[in-house]
Structure 1
Amino acid sequence: MNTMCLVAMALPASAALVVWMPPASAAESLLARLLRIAGLTAAPSQMREPEDTAAGDVWTVTVDQGSARSLTQGGGYRSPIFAADGRLYALKDSGVVQVAQSEGATAMKVPNIVKLVGFDTERRDELVVVVEPRAGGSPLAVVSLTNRTVTPLPFDGTSQQEQLVVAETRGQERVYGDTMVFVKMESRRGLSREIRWTDVYVKRGSGEAQNVSKCDGANCTEPALSPDRKTVAFVKSAR
């Protein structure tokens, strides 16, 4: 079905730019496009879509067990991802923001997006995102940060392979070469009940997985690894 996506982007000059773009050509397969995104694989191990994750603040931690630190305040952030140059982006409420490690978040918003998936390694200004599709439309789209457009990606809802790769984009496990980042449920006994939360783990090669978030009662979710594979970004929600 020939669908289109309407996008309003808040520009620095305070003017609103509304751009309609037709769906991307199906000449390139969805799988080929998604495999250019760091962290995604051709054979995902996470076959089902996860439960919705809570919004919170963006934190980072070095993989060699450095102390985690918060980059944002006030909550409302989800799905942080790194660009090829190391810049960090996340969802803030219904828009995409660049998270500046020393200044919080700079304003550049695109509404109506569900989750950030990652940047195309060949077209570095293009960000693949999960969207709420119209009836019969694609659940994935490409945001061009240069042209300020959003273009739906071709999607065959009858293809099991494409259904699996879309499920992977919604998941929280990512594989970067020999390094995997994922979340794991933790628990401890409280005064009156069991306390459960999720922590972020990193596993390198055949080594043991390491808890790098140590959230101790707060939910830490949606991990992403930096291009140099030294830093993990994640969302930490309120207790």
Structure 2
Amino acid sequence: MIFIGIALLIAVGIALLISGDAGSLVGLTQAQTAQLIPLLVILIVFAGGLFTRRRKASELVGSVLLWIGIFGVAAVTYAYRDELTGMAGRVAGELRPGVAMVDAEQGIATFRRGMGGHFEINTTVNGHTTPMIFDTGASAVVLTIADAEAAGIDTDGLRFTIPVSTANGTGRAARVRLERIEVGGIAREGVAAFVTEQDALDISLLGMTFLETLTRYSVTQNSLELVD
């Protein structure tokens, strides 16, 4: 109990030091260190159990070092939480390229290049998740007929009169207007799009009728960034 009391006094002293505008502490700002004080107090209370019975000196030293290590890891994790979050998001992007790393505050969605060399993007069209390929060469969002039907578009009433060039050759498409399209949290309504004939296209394309509504989009070697 004496140890806990002394340790708590030390924690209070650190808090007073912070409030006294003493600058940063072990690389943390005053605000960050102040937020760590409750965690320090909790660790002290748990660590106090180490001293409630007699222990060998080696055990005591080992236990103290263990708790110092735990506190150190907690402090470093907190201090670098933004970097760790970004790293975790990047790993997730590498494992699942079609899933966006979203920065909601900045309105930015970032995608990683897929194994095939394309940016494969999970897009929501009229509430249905539709995989698409990012394609600045496409003048509009282009849906396969299967994706259009899955998105609730009545393809039986479409007139396929617009000639289009696709990876499968020349085909025909019909003009439609999407109720809603969402990519990485960036949503648009009433976007013009094409629906291609059967077998004219293997995968839908995220083209310019959506991309031109963005503030900007940029492509680096392995990353695509869309800005609302």
Task: Provide TM-score, normalisation by structure 1.
Answer: 0.19
Higher RCO, 1 or 2 (CA under 8 Å, sep at least 6)? 1
Structure (1 or 2) with the greater helix fraction: 2
Higher alpha-carbon Rg: 2
Structure (1 or 2) with the greater strand fraction: 1
Task: Provide TM-score, normalisation by structure 2.
Answer: 0.19
